């Protein structure tokens, strides 16, 4: 009998239905889709200083406010749009975060042009293969990694805002660059299997 015969989900996800759904359906699933990458870039940047639950509850508001997370459209937003967004109760009404989302969209497009896709740029730090971690407790799960340090540093040089190493690592967890589901969580094996099958479209 193994130690982990009793399967329980990651303890952080059990508090609310929003967390449960996010954990069970999205968190840790590898993606090479630029629209999804931009969505999480927007949401993770908005989360800075706030709880992730706050952002999950405003996710649909962000979807509507930021053109279904289309970076090409968001990159065209002007000062008038910033004022409109600042009055929108369905998103975090922080001017700096709103403005950074627009400038981040422009930098996102520049990376797309340079690398062929933003996802390809991100996955290049991992040799296109997810990292399969084997954490037993939440205390073992790090807040940053060498990859998040490298990526956030490079993105800062490229002009990105609100995307430090801690936020970057949360982004890596969400998009399956690292599998940080605990060994006791059923999703650990699911995401590990998805990671083994993952083959980015540029390969």
Report the b/e string of 150-167 with b at 16+ CB within 10 A.
Answer: ebbeebeeeebbbbbbeb
Which of 39, 44, 147, 169 does the annotation list as catalytic? 44
pLDDT of 1 reads 36
Which of 22, 26, 99, 125 does the annotation list as catalytic? 22
Q: What is the rounded CA–CA span in Å between residue 52 and residue 82? A: 23
Count the Cβ atoms, other than its own, within 10 Å of residue 192: 17
| Mean of per-residue pLDDT scores for the chain | 95
Mean local confidence (pLDDT), 12-27: 94
> Is it the case that residue 37 has pLDDT exceeding 60?
yes
Residues of the chain with pLDDT > 90, as a percent, come to 94
Our answer to whether residue 19 is catalytic in this structure is: no
- DSSP annotation of 45 reads H
Report, in angstroms and rounded to the nearest whole number, the Rg of the chain calculated over CA atoms: 17
Which of 4, 18, 26, 52 does the annotation list as catalytic? 52
Indicate the pLDDT class of residue 2, thresholds 50, 70 and 90. very low
Our answer to whether residue 22 is catalytic in this structure is: yes
Q: Which residues contact 124 (CB under 8 A, 6 or more apart)?
A: 115
Our answer to whether residue 8 is catalytic in this structure is: no
> Is it the case that residue 3 has pLDDT exceeding 60?
no
pLDDT (tens digit per residue) in 41-89: 999 999 988 999 999 999 999 999 999 999 999 999 999 999 999 999 9
Indicate the pLDDT class of residue 6, thresholds 50, 70 and 90. low
* 3-7, 36-40, 181-185: the lowest-pLDDT one: 3-7
DSSP string, 165-189: HHHHHHHHHHTTSEE---TTSHHHH
Indicate the pLDDT class of residue 15, thresholds 50, 70 and 90. confident
> Is it the case that residue 7 has pLDDT exceeding 90?
no
pLDDT of 48 reads 87
């Amino acid at each position: 009998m193994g130690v982990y015969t009793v399967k329980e989900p990651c303890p952080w996800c059990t508090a609310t239905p929003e967390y449960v759904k996010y954990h069970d359906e999205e968190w840790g699933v590898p993606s090479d889709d630029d629209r999804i990458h931009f969505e999480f870039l927007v949401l993770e940047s908005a989360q800075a200083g706030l709880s992730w639950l706050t952002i999950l509850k405003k996710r649909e508001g962000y979807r509507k406010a930021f053109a279904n997370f289309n970076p090409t459209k968001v990159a065209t937003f002007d000062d008038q749009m910033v004022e409109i967004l600042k009055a929108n109760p369905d998103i975090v009404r922080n001017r700096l975060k709103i403005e950074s989302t627009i400038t981040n969209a422009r930098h996102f497009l520049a990376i797309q042009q340079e690398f062929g896709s933003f996802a390809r740029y991100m996955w290049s730090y991992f040799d296109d293969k997810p990292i399969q971690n084997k954490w037993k407790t939440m205390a073992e799960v790090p807040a940053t990694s060498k990859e998040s340090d490298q990526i956030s540093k490079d993105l800062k040089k490229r002009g990105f805002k609100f995307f430090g190493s801690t936020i970057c690592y949360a982004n890596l967890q969400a998009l399956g660059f690292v599998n940080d589901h605990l060994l006791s969580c059923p999703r650990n094996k699911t995401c590990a299997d998805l990671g083994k099958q993952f083959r980015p479209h540029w390969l």
